[in-house]
């Protein structure tokens, strides 16, 4: 059983996103970014009520911009996916979850220390340069289901 329905094209999308957002943080960092993408596809709350697929999540527009900086600015996102990232993407859509991204719906790479909240959502933890944030208590029950 997988965490989210996907096609081969979705694997390429999430693989490209993982690489673009976290290649400097190694495989574990890329897995954590991929986990946030999958979490957004499976929850039914907050800003993610109308996103159901990997493609919906990656190309979601909020406040007039794409949600992910890699899609906004291009960076590595528009390069083809490599086999290593595809393997990691398959892990994430099938089963992989780990703290601090386990229940996280947001992450970002600040210029300084991780703030205690991000748009009123509590800090879940940090991995290398990325700060991860879970939904506020009692606001998104579906984030805590497997």
What count of residues does the chain have?
A: 146
Contact 107, 133 (CB under 8 A): yes
In order of their start, the domains of the chain are 8-143 (1.10.10.2520)
**Predicted local distance difference test score (pLDDT) of residue 90:** 97
Neighbours of 44 (CB within 10 A): 13
* Cβ burial 70-91 (10 Å sphere, 16+ → b, else e): bbeeeeebeeebeeebbebbbb
Whole-prediction pTM: 0.95
**What pLDDT digit, counting tens, does each position of 103-127 carry?**
999 999 999 999 999 999 999 999 9
Average pLDDT over residues 88-107: 97
Residue 68's alpha-carbon distances to 2, 62, 86, 144, in angstroms, are: 24, 10, 19, 22
**Predicted local distance difference test score (pLDDT) of residue 76:** 76
Average pLDDT over residues 68-75: 85
Instruction: Outline where DSSP puts E strands in the chain.
Output: 61-62, 65-66, 106-108, 117-118, 121-127, 130-133
Residue 59's alpha-carbon distances to 1, 22, 114, in angstroms, are: 25, 18, 25
For 141, the 3-state DSSP assignment is: helix
33: which 2 tokens? 């970014």
CA diameter of the chain: 39
């Amino acid at each position: 059983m997988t965490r989210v329905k996907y096609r081969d094209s979705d694997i390429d999308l999430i693989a490209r996103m993982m690489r673009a957002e976290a290649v400097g943080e190694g495989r574990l960092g890329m897995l954590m970014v991929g986990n946030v993408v999958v979490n957004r596809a499976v929850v039914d709350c907050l800003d993610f009520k109308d996103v159901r697929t990997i493609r919906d999540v990656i190309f979601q527009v909020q406040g007039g911009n794409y949600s992910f900086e890699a899609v906004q600015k291009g960076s590595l996102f528009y390069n083809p996916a490599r086999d290593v990232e595809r393997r990691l993407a398959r892990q994430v859509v099938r089963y992989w979850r780990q703290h601090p991204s386990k229940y996280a719906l947001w992450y970002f790479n600040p210029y300084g220390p991780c703030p205690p909240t991000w748009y009123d959502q509590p800090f879940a933890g940090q991995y290398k340069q990325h700060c991860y944030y879970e939904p506020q208590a009692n606001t998104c029950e579906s984030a805590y289901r497997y």
